[in-house]
Amino acid sequence: MKTELAFKTVSVIGLGYIGLPTAAVIASRGINVIGVDVNQKAVDTINAGDIHIVEPDLDIVVRGVVSTGNLRATTTPEPAEAFMVAVPTPFHHGTNENGEVSHKPNLDYIKSAAKAIAPVLEKGNIVILESTSPVGATEKLAGWLAEARPDLSFPQDKGDSADIKVAHCPERVLPGYVLQELVSNDRVIGGMSKACSDRAVELYQTFVRGECVITNARTAEMAKLTENSFRDVNIAFANELSVICDKLKINVWELIKLANRHPRVNILNPGPGVGGHCIAVDPWFIVDSCPEEANIIRQARLTNDAKPFYVIDKITQAADQFKKPVIACLGLAFKADIDDLRESPALQIVEELAKRNIGEIIAVEPNINDSEMPKSLVEANVQLTTLEKALEKANVAVVLVDHKEFKAADAGQFAAKVVIDSRGIL
């Protein structure tokens, strides 16, 4: 006998690196999924059974669920039983009263999503915020929904008896492994009431094999920020260590391998900085909430934000050895084997090199094509080319991302170059 589904229709708001895989996985469970995105091109691409992002095996799943009719994309929200909000949460760069750089969370996308779905909400619906958010964002989402729909009750006023349930369940997946981790990872579920949490668990149990752990919304928000801040602090230690080792003429990669032979030591590998929409952003949400207390977290951010400029200085010194420097920058993405350029230290380094006009800059990024080159690089006349062509022409080679293509390259291709390897692959 076929088990009746707890949800027949789910809407996913935001079809990016988290929203689209989530929509596809839920649709693969036989649930009708309506994906909503403001990008008409992304909507058309998905409805054609294709994908607009790079993620292993996602194209196969999307093609399958679109062909069965379980996934359909649109630019306008439609009625559903559950709404999962997976939109960006960047920050505003600014200056505080002391003249220091500040990073204020930008909740404009969440507010826009709330206004978009409010007209189609019906009694009994649940709205789940998946976007990584500062503490209190779920409450703000519920407030925006309540303003738009005074005819419905919300948990901040009615608790368990509210017409609309609201919860926070942060995504916690690794790019490149999203489809597996969406299913296998434990989920932290923070409802604004017990009934909100229970209903959210029902939804996640339709596709999650990991445990659904219940807490309140604020703790769920802080859990995701804490996870990424922990990683940021540990990366900052490795990045600081790499700078110290350069000064002391010690191979940091060998040093870390030796230190990690201790049973209770696990130092991460350094890099050119920290990127992506999570680790490079989320710690600032904690700092903004508690600026006087978050001292280690702030310093880790400053240390990691300074690392790209340290790498740039090394590249500049290398370029000074040549009358006509040609610099091959290997990688633009924020991590290996993906196309995501958000908050990428590699992209930041290439942009800064182009501004400094120290020589010809060539970029190699195997996960994007010419049409996807950032506007900043196109305007600076940075050419996108293959690894082979770049190494033929360049006299300085800079490894910024440890893509599999770069790891597989013949070391002999680098023999006659000045090499700056920020990832330790050579």
Is 375 a residue of the active site?
no
Could you tell me whether strands 82-85 and 91-95 are parallel, antiparallel, or unpaired per DSSP bridges?
A: unpaired
Selecting among 224, 307, 329, 335, the annotated active-site residue is: 224
- The token duo for 403 is 């893509």
**CA 179, CA 187: separation in Å to the nearest integer?**
14
Say if CB 225 and CB 170 are below 8 A apart: no
Is 224 a residue of the active site?
yes
**CA 285, CA 102: separation in Å to the nearest integer?**
10
CA quadruple 111, 114, 118, 122: dihedral sign: negative
Selecting among 165, 278, 307, 335, the annotated active-site residue is: 278
**CA 129, CA 46: separation in Å to the nearest integer?**
22
CA neighbor of 89 nearest in space, from 290, 345, 281:
281
- The token duo for 43 is 């909507």
What is the SS3 string spanning the chain?
CCCCCCCCEEEEECCCCCHHHHHHHHHCCCCEEEEECCCHHHHHHHHCCCCCCCCCCHHHHHHHHHHCCCEEEECCCCCCCEEEECCCCCEEEEECCCCCEEEEECCHHHHHHHHHHHHHCCCCCEEEECCCCCCCHHHHHHHHHHHHCCCCCCHHHHHHHCCCEEEECCCCCCCCCHHHHHHHCCEEEEECCHHHHHHHHHHHCCCCCCCEEEEEHHHHHHHHHHHHHHHHHHHHHHHHHHHHHHHHCCCHHHHHHHHCCCCCCCCCCCCCCCCCCCCCCHHHHHHHHCCCCCHHHHHHHHHHHHHHHHHHHHHHHHHCCCCCCEEEEECCCCCCCCCCCCCCHHHHHHHHHHHHCCCEEEEECCCCCHHHCCHHHHHCCCEECCHHHHHHHCCEEEECCCCHHHHCCCHHHHCCCEEEECCCCC
Give the residue numbers annotated as catalytic, written as ranges.
224, 278
